[in-house]
A and B are shown apart, each in its own frame.
Chain A
Amino acid sequence: AQKITQTQPGMFVQEKEAVTLDCTYDTSDPSYGLFWYKQPSSGEMIFLIYQGSYDQQNATEGRYSLNFQKARKSANLVISASQLGDSAMYFCAMSGLYNQGGKLIFGQGTELSVKP
């Protein structure tokens, strides 16, 4: 079975500072993928970044980067230079090669508030 744990229900960060959102996972799949989604107050789910378990380098997408530590089973999202528009819920999710249908397992989310 797969499991995603996000231990930070809520976080605050000052505008223009960097912030790390934690995500740990558990899986027996030999190959898996980790995803981060953003859910602003308007409710939609926005894909941010993806990391494959066999990727040699940590994924980056603009101000988002994924600090992937395979041995520690963690896939933390780093947001650099926070902006007010980054205030939202952030969900970590995973899929595995043996997940029929590419199903995603989600964590409970972290609510990020960016202070001006």
Chain B
Amino acid sequence: NAGVTQTPKFRVLKTGQSMTLLCAQDMNHEYMYWYRQDPGMGLRLIHYSVGEGTTAKGEVPDGYNVSRLKKQNFLLGLESAAPSQTSVYFCASSKGRAGRMETQYFGPGTRLLVL
């Protein structure tokens, strides 16, 4: 099992450009998440999904969109990148059983630099 994988590992964008970050998991997990990590801070939730075809906003959703067309994939899009979106992006997944606090397993992260 590869667990949670993220593509790409590193990307440089110019202000205004768009891009999509791909997250894939092979653990048949129901829930998936996108976080960002800025220097000196913990992770903050951008968007999440509780199942195929569903998405919801997290703590810092502005400037991002997501899609979960397949259970194993969760895409994060930046339509018009801004320097404030320079960050490390982590994808995570969990089993997502109702009424249970489940451990989230993280991908290796994507480092994004917006110039």
Q: State whether A97 touches B41 (Cβ < 8 A).
A: no
Q: State whether A101 touches B106 (Cβ < 8 A).
A: no
Smallest Cβ-Cβ distance to B103: which chain A residue: A47
- Looking at chain B, what size class is its interface with the partner chain? 20 to 34
Smallest Cβ-Cβ distance to A46: which chain B residue: B106
State whether the Cβ of A64 lies closer than 8 Å to any Cβ in chain B.
no
Q: State whether A102 touches B43 (Cβ < 8 A).
A: no
Smallest Cβ-Cβ distance to B108: which chain A residue: A44
Return B66 CB to nearest CB of chain A, in Å: 13
Contacts of A52 in B (CB 8 A): 101
Q: State whether A101 touches B48 (Cβ < 8 A).
A: yes
Q: A45-B90, A45-B106 are known contacts. Are A102 and B101 too (CB-CB below 8 A)?
A: yes
* CB-contact partner of A91 in B31, B42, B100, B105, under 8 A: B42
Smallest Cβ-Cβ distance to B90: which chain A residue: A45
Return A21 CB to nearest CB of chain B, in Å: 14
Q: A101-B31, A103-B48 are known contacts. Are A47 and B58 too (CB-CB below 8 A)?
A: no
| Docked CA distance A101–B40 (Å) | 26
| Docked CA distance A31–B43 (Å) | 22
State whether the Cβ of B26 lies closer than 8 Å to any Cβ in chain A.
no
Residues of B near any A CB (own CB < 8 A)? 31, 33, 40-45, 48-50, 56, 58, 88, 90, 92, 94, 96, 99-109, 111
